[in-house]
Structure 1
Amino acid sequence: MSKTEKRQVPPALKQVLRFDEEVTKRFVLWANKFLPLRSLRIHYKALEITCHGIPWFAFWIAFTWLFNNSSLVQMQVNMLIGLFLDIIFIAVAKAYFRRRRPVANTDDALGQIGPDVFSFPSGHASRAVFVAYFFINLYQLPVLCVPPLIAWVTAICLSRILMNRHYILDVVGGICFGLIVAWIISFIWLDADAANYLMSFLSDDKIDGGDYHV
């Protein structure tokens, strides 16, 4: 195949994508007409930052290094592995599918990095679903934390569409990817000894109170 030759999209898939674009456009117009969402655009941006891959990864690494308590290490390490898998899966998928973002989208500096210029699947939706699944099913937080987590995930997914960052199918795809990453982590879940060993191997400092502390 010539380098200048564009990849051909199957006719059936073209129809699905066009339908997705039309439904997304109508949904955004409806939402902006009947709900006071246009005036709340600043909150969309705040939601976007709370689930962006770069801040999440940087924050979690800092959290893991600063709070190296043995009671937290298992959760920290498994979450870090999940975040890493999520970033890799989404980057590979976006680079492969290369679906352009909605025409109405206005990218920022972070949205111009690498495969993030593409639309499918939504990395924000994937990350939000994985994080919520992690803290609801794998490392259970108190039940009072569940409603805010569900509300956050829902707000993230809706805001990606209403900001014209993604089409509806992009968000659905992101949700599926997030569940896949969560299931992988549940399958390979590191126990406390393995997590402490991995942390002690990667760090010059030993875990306080851990089996490998010296």
Structure 2
Amino acid sequence: MPSPKAKNPLRSGGSPVLGNSNGRFEFMSLNRTPPPHLIQRQGSDTTTARLRASESPTRRRGSGSSTGSTSGQGMPEEDCMRLNPSILGIALSSLLAIDLWLSKCLGVCACEDSSWGSIRPLMKLIEISGHGIPWLVGTAYCIYKSDSTAGQEVMLNLFMALLLDLVLVGIVKASVRRRRPVHNRMDMFATFSVDRYSFPSGHATRAAMCGRFLLAHLVLAAPLRVLVLLWAGTVGLSRVLLGRHNVTDVLFGFWMGYCQYNLVEMLWLSPQALQALLGQLE
């Protein structure tokens, strides 16, 4: 007759009977492991839920803001400077444009076909009057013909001032290397290699320096002083009318020549100083 326990395999809180071993019952837990296809399905559902959470609007907004902030902070400083140019750069560019435009408008004697081409020979004569070679030759002749010591002293310092002007203007032209205006014709008298550059105007520096020198040491009469001033101004104006220089080249040349005279006064050579210098060289 079978045991009553074999007829009731399940009890409240118990587990189903799997079998007996050595007269002892073995039970299987009710919390059994789900089948493999259920585990795979649950894993795919969890992955889908995570992807949807990552693609939520809040997450997208956060990532967009962080990317924007990173890109804003990572912008190169050079690009920021190009987008926001300095006031000084804008002012210099505007002045350069005005300088080129005004120089082209004033170059009315640049060639024979220009509006004032008929007075071009006169402008070229004024150009020669401010050239360095006539001044050097004339000053050397005055030194040779002078009878007084005072006259030789003045002419000697003028000769040294002309040499100083040539050296300083050549250094500045070779350093800046600004080209001459495009409407210029290179038919100047006795040019050198640095004369293909425009800044500053050597005629303007020489006119300003020699004008101050003549007014301080040679010319005393009022009409002659006015003529010296008119000559210096006309030499500078002829450089622009002939198309040789821009306006800024002439203006800077006048300022440079004015300052060169102060340097000449500081380095003034007296006859005694010259004789001592020549004695040391011998």
Into which bin does the TM-score normalised by the smaller protein fall?
0.7 to 0.9
Secondary structure of 1:151 counterpart: helix
Secondary structure of 1:102 counterpart: coil
Given the alignment, which residue of 138, 147, 151 partners 2:230? 151
Gaps of 5+ in 1: 1-9, 30-35, 203-214
Separation (CA, whole Å) in 1 of partners of 2:191 and 2:141:
25
Aligned-pair RMSD on alpha carbons? 3.0
* Pairing 1:137–2:219 present: no
Give TM-score, length-normalised by structure 1. Answer: 0.77
Separation (CA, whole Å) in 1 of partners of 2:261 and 2:147:
23
Separation (CA, whole Å) in 2 of partners of 1:76 and 1:17:
39
Give TM-score, length-normalised by structure 2. Answer: 0.60
Separation (CA, whole Å) in 2 of partners of 1:166 and 1:67:
37
**Counterpart mapping for 1:84-103 below 5 A:** 84-103=163-182
Separation (CA, whole Å) in 2 of partners of 1:73 and 1:103:
43
Q: Which has the higher contact order (CA 8 A, sep 6+)?
A: 1
Q: Percent identity?
A: 29
Separation (CA, whole Å) in 1 of partners of 2:190 and 2:135:
15
Question: What is the aligned partner in structure 2 of residue 116 from structure 1?
Answer: 195
Letter in 1 for 2:173: K
Given the alignment, which residue of 164, 188, 193 partners 2:267? 188
Separation (CA, whole Å) in 1 of partners of 2:229 and 2:181:
26
Separation (CA, whole Å) in 2 of partners of 1:113 and 1:95:
12
1:188, CA displacement in angstroms?
A: 2.4
With 120-129 and 16-25 compared, the bigger mean Cα shift is at 16-25
Question: What is the aligned partner in structure 2 of residue 18 from structure 1?
Answer: 97
Letter in 2 for 1:75: V
Separation (CA, whole Å) in 2 of partners of 1:24 and 1:111:
24
* Pairing 1:49–2:113 present: no
8 Å Cα contact 1:24/1:167 also seen in 2: yes
Secondary structure of 1:119 counterpart: coil
Structure 1 pair 70–201 and aligned structure 2 pair: CA distance change class (3 A): farther
Structure 1 pair 166–62 and aligned structure 2 pair: CA distance change class (3 A): same
8 Å Cα contact 1:111/1:117 also seen in 2: no
Structure 1 pair 108–28 and aligned structure 2 pair: CA distance change class (3 A): closer
Separation (CA, whole Å) in 2 of partners of 1:194 and 1:142:
30
1:11, CA displacement in angstroms?
A: 5.4
Structure 1 pair 201–143 and aligned structure 2 pair: CA distance change class (3 A): farther
Structure 1 pair 190–112 and aligned structure 2 pair: CA distance change class (3 A): closer
Separation (CA, whole Å) in 2 of partners of 1:45 and 1:199:
40
8 Å Cα contact 2:104/2:183 also seen in 1: no
